[in-house]
Copies of this chain bind each other. A is one copy, B any other.
Amino acid sequence: MKKTETELTGVKEIARRANVSIGTVDRVIHNRKGVSENTKQKINAIIEELNFQPNKMASLLASRKILTFAILIPAVSNETDYWSYPLNGIKQAAAEIKQFGVSVKYYFYDLDSKNSFNTAADELLNSEPHAILLAPSFVEESIILVKKIRDLSLPLAFINSDLPNQDNLTYIGPELYQSGKLAAQLISFAIQKSDKVLTVNISTDLENDHHLFRKEQGFKKFFDDAGKTNELLTLNINETKLVAVEKSLLGSLSTNTAIKAIFVTNSRVNIVAKILEKHNKKDILLIGYDFLKKNINYLLSEQITFLICQRPKEQGYLGIMALYKYLFKISEVEKSVYMPIDIITKENYQFYNS
């Protein structure tokens, strides 16, 4: 249970071999200046030879570092509890690394308000964190923030959606195109040749919601590749209110009675489910996104058949851990981590820990 006494490692041993003090060894280890090139090389050679790995616990303890990570993500809203899952993952990670002197500060913005994003971003920067986790929902605003973060050379992790070429440490989230293909594959099992399939995009900001179209592209690609000839229709709805969606949707369905499957490109699939339920359309296969309570309820009542889900909790958890691993030099951090694309049904949702 005790370490063997004979081990000759650590800064002391290096200092002994190099004939210097441990202070100088420490300077070399951390690349601090004020060491002659000569002794530097001598020490580095010994470090190599001994394959020396500094004891992280001792280093942490001695340095008394206390780091703060700032996170900026959407607030949990009435409309959706989606963001509670990443938040839970973040909290779990925060609890695990608290003992290493990391504290996490939370900033939230309203998905309906770019202003709230900017305000929260300013507060975040004022708090002078040592690392940042960001869900960059508003693209332009995020890019402005990212620029400031870059000027401070702070490590930055994106979750949930990516911004290209932003020098961020890592992105952890979904690959949208492929999830659209998967949705198409699932639908393809259950439909006949003559059936039509409807894709529904619902967003108050359709123009900027390129995510939805990326999924739709993947969706169509699958049918193309598979040589399926089913007619694929698209319905873009620029509102999220039930009545508006209802009007649009019923219009489509009445002119296209052969629609046998609907793909909703985001978590608003519960709105469509509600409408289908109301009008007693049980025979239409419905598939959408995200493990939300509302969606799960329709999974149970079988109005929704499949939900595609990309581990929101794990995104938050891994985002924080990536910053931690980077700052504490625990391990390398991957530039992009694409989440598995999970399929949730009535028969496996119980064990999905989001």
**What residues make up the interface of A, taking CB atoms closer than 8 Å to B?**
1-3, 55-58, 60-61, 64-67, 95-96, 99-101, 130, 175, 178-179, 181-182, 184-186, 189-190, 222, 305, 330-331, 338-343, 345-348, 350-353
The residue in A57, A330, A342 that gathers the most chain B C-beta atoms within 10 A of its C-beta is: A57
CB within 8 Å for A56 and B190 given contacts A182-B348, A346-B185, A348-B340 = no
The 10 closest A-B pairs by CB, nearest first: A182-B347, A341-B348, A343-B343, A57-B57, A185-B347, A189-B190, A181-B347, A340-B351, A182-B348, A340-B352
A66 touches B2 (CB 8 A): yes
In the complex, chain B residues whose CB is within 8 Å of the CB of A340:
342, 348, 351-353
CB within 8 Å for A61 and B61 given contacts A181-B347, A351-B339, A352-B340 = yes
In the complex, chain B residues whose CB is within 8 Å of the CB of A130:
1
A351 touches B64 (CB 8 A): no
Q: Given contact pairs A55-B61, A189-B189, A340-B351, enumerate 15 new A-B contacts (beta carbons under 8 Å).
A: A1-B66, A1-B130, A2-B64, A3-B64, A178-B347, A181-B347, A182-B345, A182-B347, A182-B348, A185-B345, A340-B342, A340-B353, A341-B347, A342-B343, A342-B348
Q: Which of B64, B66, B330 contacts A96 (CB 8 A)?
A: B330
Number of copies of this kind of chain in the complex: 2
Residue contacts A-B, CB under 8 angstroms, 11 given:
A1-B65, A1-B67, A57-B61, A95-B331, A99-B330, A182-B347, A222-B347, A340-B342, A341-B347, A341-B348, A341-B351
B61 touches A58 (CB 8 A): yes
A342 touches B345 (CB 8 A): no
B352 touches A348 (CB 8 A): no
In the complex, chain B residues whose CB is within 8 Å of the CB of A347:
178, 181-182, 184-185, 222, 341
Interface of A (DSSP majority class): mixed
Residue of B nearest to A99 (CB): B56
